[in-house]
Amino acid sequence: MMMNRSLCDPNEIHYNANDSHLSNDPVALFLELVRSTNHQKTALQNKTMTQRLLDIQNLSFAYATSKSICNALNFKINDGDIACLLGPSGCGKTTVLRLIAGFERPLAGSIQVGGRELTSHRVFVEPEDRAIGYVFQDFALFPHLTITKNVAFGLRNMPSGAINERVAEMLELVGMTKYGSRYPHELSGGQRQRIALARALAPRPSLLLMDEPFSSLDIELREKLSTEVHELLKSQHTTALFVTHDQNEAFSIADTVSVMNDGAIEQTDTAYNLYHRPASRFVADFVGQGVLIAGRGMANRMIGTELGNMHAADDTSVAIESGEAYDVLLRPDDIQHDDDSPTTAMVIHKAFRGADILYTLRLDSGTHLLSLVPSHHNHELGQKIGIRTEIDHVVAFRAHVS
Ligand code: ADP
Ligand code: MG
């Protein structure tokens, strides 16, 4: 776990959660928020460039009516990076965004953006003075303004020619050039989300926060838009944090993904490492598919399993002790179909995936495995097929003590 709970000092309670004057209306908040984005951005750019754009330290928060959402959370984003908080519904992703934006006041901890303290026991910068862009999950477009005016909203301090140019650029980016004179209710849900994104990006915020930004788009648009957004953020050197429960979305846009579980960050890493080198059972389970099979520790980091002896990767933190019980992670691509293998398993389920079929297999012992096999190897349910393991990097966790 990357979180350091021991750093949380109960004497450090500085804010009364009830004394916030902030409205919960996202439209009102957004109005406030974009008001001074442009001049704030300039102020930030004039500061000495820090490598770290966002720095959250020991952030603790609880809603008045619920249990703790986060407890001494630490989280950082480097300048220009696109970061993602990936976690299941209810784990606290939106709350963390709201704390960064200044819509909520923490119980303790600090938030800095671009070296400037926004939240701490000393200061609390109002949302509208934070130079932070926010794409709300529920769009929060202004219903009485046209699309053009919605996108132009945060650009009021610019000359009108520049505003028109920027709005046109943003509408083109999100594929909505033809819709400038419409009103939000005349758009589909996906189109509204694209406008919300265009509106938040238009003032070139120093930090862009996005709450499940592509969740309402169909898969094709989602991929196109996430690639475009990625390129746009990179070209403008905008640092962004988005949150999602969808790992494909996380992997398609983010430089680093932080997997969040119950308000705590369990691992911050590349998509490749989260999948192949998960640091915890939760990450192993939440990212990608796979099964855990039982094993027994042996000498020299070997683990004996019913599929043979495996060498636990040297770079995992788990010590392998002889005689101890372990669970070994097997991804579907670790189990290869091989007609010549003496080890066989019965097909008990198959999911056609186009190029591949994901087979659920059962060993004679009853252990279930997943195997990803090119789809021209089309086997029937109940058939026994030969398998062998091909694992580059064996990940093991100490078995739960019951
Ligand atoms: P996520 O975005 O990961 O789905 P949220 O940050 O929205 O999670 O919520 C985290 C937890 O806080 C959930 O259990 C949710 O029910 C609770 N929660 C969210 N907003 C409020 C609120 N305004 N008052 C009380 N509890 C809340
Ligand atoms: Mg949420």
Stronger pLDDT, 357 or 188, i.e. the higher one: 357
Are 71 and 219 found together in one domain? yes
Identify the domain boundary among 261, 282, 303: 282
| pLDDT over 80 (residue 42) | no
The parent domain of residue 227 ranges over: 5-282
Identify the domain boundary among 282, 307, 334: 282
Grade residue 402 by pLDDT with cuts at 50, 70 and 90. low
The CATH number assigned to the domain holding 306 equals 2.40.50.140
User: In this structure, which residue's CA is closest to atom 7 in ligand 1?
Assistant: 94
> What confidence score (pLDDT) does residue 401 get?
62
Are 143 and 188 found together in one domain? yes
Residues contacting ligand 1 via CB (< 6 Å): 63, 65-66, 69, 87, 89-95
CA of 228 to the centre of ligand 2 (A): 23
The model's pLDDT over 44-70, given as tens digits with 9 standing for 90+, comes to 444 444 489 999 999 999 998 878 999
The model's pLDDT over 282-319, given as tens digits with 9 standing for 90+, comes to 999 999 999 999 999 999 999 999 999 999 988 777 89
Are 78 and 45 found together in one domain? yes
The model's pLDDT over 237-261, given as tens digits with 9 standing for 90+, comes to 889 999 999 998 898 889 999 999 9
Are 266 and 242 found together in one domain? yes
> What confidence score (pLDDT) does residue 33 get?
38
> What confidence score (pLDDT) does residue 382 get?
96
CA of 24 to the centre of ligand 1 (A): 13
CA of 294 to the centre of ligand 1 (A): 36
The model carries a pTM of 0.80
Which range among 153-157, 216-220, 340-344 shows the weakest confidence by mean pLDDT? 216-220
Are 333 and 201 found together in one domain? no
Are 11 and 60 found together in one domain? yes
| pLDDT over 90 (residue 189) | no
Identify the domain boundary among 235, 260, 282: 282
3-state secondary structure the chain: CCCCHHHCCHHHCCCCHHHCCCCCCHHHHHHHHHHCHHHHHHHHHHCCCCCEEEEEEEEEEECCCCCEEEEEEEEEEECCCEEEEECCCCCCHHHHHHHHHCCCCCCEEEEEECCEEEECCCCECCHHHCCEEEECCCCCCCCCCCHHHHHHHHHCCCCHHHHHHHHHHHHHHCCCHHHCCCCHHHCCHHHHHHHHHHHHHCCCCCEEEEECCCCCCCHHHHHHHHHHHHHHHHHCCCEEEEEECCHHHHHHHCCEEEEEECCEEEEEECHHHHHHCCCCHHHHHHCCCCEEEEEEECCCCEEEECCEEEEECCCCCCCCCCCCEEEEEECHHHEEECCCCCCEEEEEEEEECCCEEEEEEECCCCCEEEEEEECCCCCCCCCEEEEEECCCCEEEEECCCC
Are 108 and 233 found together in one domain? yes
Looking at ligand 1, which atom is closest to the CA of residue 89? Answer: 4
CA of 90 to the centre of ligand 1 (A): 6
The CATH number assigned to the domain holding 229 equals 3.40.50.300
Are 244 and 311 found together in one domain? no
Question: What is the average per-residue pLDDT within 77-90?
Answer: 96
